[in-house]
Structure 1
Amino acid sequence: MFDVLVYLYENYWRPDACPEPRQLSRKLSAVGFEREEIQEALDWLEGLAGAADSAEHAAPGSGLRVYTDAESEHLGEASIGFISFLASAGVLRPPMREMVIDRAMAIPGGPLPLEDLKIIVLMVFWSLGEEPDALILDELFVADEDRLIH
């Protein structure tokens, strides 16, 4: 599913630039994605659209976020740390943070790998039509072992 999401991010500027779901499904299939993977991604994106609508109408929240036991277990320490880092840096406003958590909780299994969480963060920006700045894109795309320390 995450490969499909990355493909959409790379090939469509915004969600409204994507074709309707049936046509998009055919295009993704033609590119080589499996039917089940496509359906999972489309279902997840539908949830993302709902979360974006809710976030648009949400009252501004505080910066403090207390995670439930289920969220802590599902997200894992690394993902919660990364969300906290982005929130404290002012990159994830509270409604965006809640979208990230909502969509991360929609992924089966756990704890969620940090690489998957980074794709979720990227897709939240994408769904809102926002482009993260270059330093944040670097955090989302470059693996720690590939970073050059100057």
Structure 2
Amino acid sequence: MFDILMYLFENYVHSEMEMMVDEDELTQELTRAGFHQAEILKAFSWLERLAELQESDKPYLRNHDQHSFRIFTDQEMTKLDVQCRGFLLFLEQIQVLSVATREMVIDRVMELDEQELGLDDLKWVILMVLFNAPGNESAYAQMEDLIFEQPEGMLHS
């Protein structure tokens, strides 16, 4: 399912192509690209749930006291290793993620089929969440810079 989400993001969202594609057409395109119907439906459901989170008034999506901190559940710690959790904290500290967008990211990560998620995959989930969260254009641009920024100068071996 994650591969389908990546395909959609890279080919439609990130490339800034017109996203007004019929779901049946998109399903056919994904099938031609080699994806299985069940996985396509899961990916669509994942995206629909992301859209629903934008309109949610769930208590965990409201801003919390600035002195509060996030404690991860055992399942979250299994799926998100120390590096991933540290990256989420870093993004929150530099204000790329708010409490609400952090929780949306964690919610979407937990719905992925993968048992564990690597840092690179987490970065793509964060981009997808920020792209779909109204008012987060600046955070999305910062996240893009963090992902695609090439180091300057020579690298030492």
Same topology, TM > 0.5: yes
CA pair 3-111 structure 1, distance change in 2 beyond 3 A: closer
Aligned to 2:63: 60
Of 140, 143, 155, the match for 1:136: 143
Deviations, residues 81-115 of structure 1 (Å, cap 9, x unaligned): 11111111100011100000001111234331112
Q: Distance in 2 between matches of 1:111 and 1:11?
A: 25
Which residue of 1 is the match for residue 118 of structure 2? Answer: 113
Q: TM-score, normalised by structure 2?
A: 0.74
TM-score of the superposed pair, with normalisation by structure 1? 0.76
Higher mean C-alpha displacement, 90-99 vs 109-118 = 109-118
- For these two proteins, the number of residue pairs brought into alignment is 144
Are the structure 2 counterparts of residues 62 and 75 from structure 1 closer, same or farther at C-alpha, using a change threshold of 3 Å? Answer: farther
Question: Is the contact made by 2:127 and 2:143 (CA closer than 8 Å) also made in structure 1?
Answer: no
Aligned to 2:2: 2
The match for 1:49 is: 51
Q: Which runs of 5+ in 1 are unaligned?
A: none
Q: Any gaps of 5 or more consecutive residues in structure 2?
A: none
Larger RCO: 1 or 2 (CA < 8 Å, sep 6+): 1
Percent identical among aligned pairs is 36
Q: Match of 1:102, SS?
A: helix
Structure 1 residue ranges, 4+ long, deviating more than 4 angstroms after superposition:
55-58
Q: 2: CA distance between counterparts of 1:109 and 1:65? A: 22
Q: Radius of gyration: which is bigger?
A: 2
In structure 1, the residue matched to 2:105 is: 100
Give the superposed CA RMSD: 2.8
Shift of residue 8 of structure 1?
A: 2.3
